[in-house]
């Protein structure tokens, strides 16, 4: 495993729709420990995040960057950040569930996508992983639909459990 690529909102931090305020960044339980465990194993960390609020005119790229900078302050710096700023109707190849964010993060890390794991809270995260040739793990939260959980190959009850299963060989990657 070369890298673990995390979704941001709802996976590592509490989901605040269209958040442009760094003061609202709150880690989900176990997230800091999960990221620390990945780093302790010598595995690269990355963030792949749809930020359609930019394309919708609800946020600026600078506001998203300030929130991302706060996430780096809380968790320590990630090795790579890749953000899709496009609205859903833009039809871009980077907006999850398309593979672009995962492929680009792997490229920037010098890794093959099939050596990467994507951890996210919605089906689009795991579909993006699959489309890129990476491995996806769904960590459902209150907003995750039951059919998304039912369709996922790998699920974990929380982010720390997902990372522990990866590190212990609970899933082959």
3-class secondary-structure state, position 8: coil
Q: What is the largest CA-CA distance in the chain?
A: 43
Q: What is the DSSP letter of 96?
A: T
Q: Which residue, among 157, 101, 93, 89, has the nearest Cα to 125 in the 3D structure?
A: 101
Peptide bond into 97 cis (omega under 30): yes
CB-CB neighbours of 62 under 10 Å: 10
Report phi then psi at 132, rounded to 5.
Answer: -85, -10
Number of H helices, E strands in the chain: 7, 5
Positions marked active-site: 7, 9
Report phi then psi at 120, rounded to 5.
Answer: -150, 175
């Amino acid at each position: 495993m070369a890298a673990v690529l995390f979704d941001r909102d709802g996976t590592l931090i509490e989901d605040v729709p269209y958040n442009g305020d760094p003061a609202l960044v709150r880690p989900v339980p176990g997230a800091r420990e999960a990221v620390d465990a990945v780093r302790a194993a010598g595995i690269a960390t990355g963030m792949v995040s749809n930020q359609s609020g930019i394309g919708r005119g609800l946020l600026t790229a600078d506001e998203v960057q300030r929130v991302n900078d706060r996430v780096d302050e809380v968790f320590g710096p990630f090795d790579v950040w890749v953000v899709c700023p496009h609205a859903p109707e833009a039809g871009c190849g980077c907006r999850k569930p398309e593979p672009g964010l995962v492929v680009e993060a792997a490229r920037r890390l010098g890794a093959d996508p099939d050596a990467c794991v994507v951890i996210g809270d919605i089906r689009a995260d795991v579909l993006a992983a699959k489309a890129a040739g990476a491995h996806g793990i769904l960590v459902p939260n209150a907003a995750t639909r039951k059919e998304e959980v039912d369709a996922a190959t790998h699920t974990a009850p929380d982010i720390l459990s997902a990372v522990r299963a990866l590190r212990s060989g609970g899933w082959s990657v």
